[in-house]
Structure 1
Amino acid sequence: MSTFFYGIEDLFVNYLFWPYDTFRAMTNWWTSNSINWIFVIIGAVAFYYWMGQLNIFNKNNEEDKTISSHSYL
């Protein structure tokens, strides 16, 4: 069973996460965290898109806002 877990370790450490080892050698903080900044930008764009869609539905009054809209209320 231990060889199974060593195999998982080998897969992640030596194959899937090897690009992150190059970021450790960089001395500039901004370039070493570029992947994180890309994810933050993608998340911000998705957040603003989602809020825009909610605003469209709110302006069209398509949402049921009555108190009895859910059975548990």
Structure 2
Amino acid sequence: MKDFFYAIQDLFVNVLFKPLDALRALELENWFAASIISWIFVVICLVALVYWMLQLKKFNDNNEEDKTVSSHSFL
């Protein structure tokens, strides 16, 4: 049973967290490159948020949602 937990530890430490270790090492060598990677992730999240808000606005403009008080019993 102990080997099972060591296998889980090995999976996370040596496989799944390898990109984070590489990013940490990159930050020590070149701070700007590590920051650019972070900003790319921020831009991807921002684009996803804008797309989500536009989709919500489209459904709201089509009046597809039932907004009556009786639609939910807790209201």
Corresponding residue for residue 67 of structure 1: 69
Report deviation, 1:19.
2.8
Alignment of 1:2-13 (within 5 A): 2-13=2-13
Q: After the TM superposition, which residues 36-55 of structure 1 pair with which residues of structure 2 at under 5 Å, given as runs?
A: 36-55=38-57
The aligned length equals 72
- What's 1:24 paired with? 24
RMSD: 2.1
5+ unaligned residues in a row in structure 1: which ranges? Answer: none
> What TM-score comes out, normalization by structure 2 length?
0.70
TM norm structure 1: 0.71
Gaps of 5+ in 2: none
Residue deviations 1:12-62, cap 9 Å, x none? 21222223222222233342251x433322222121111101111222222
Q: Judging changes above 3 Å, is the alpha-carbon distance between structure 1 residues 61 and 19 closer, same or farther for their aligned structure 2 residues?
A: closer
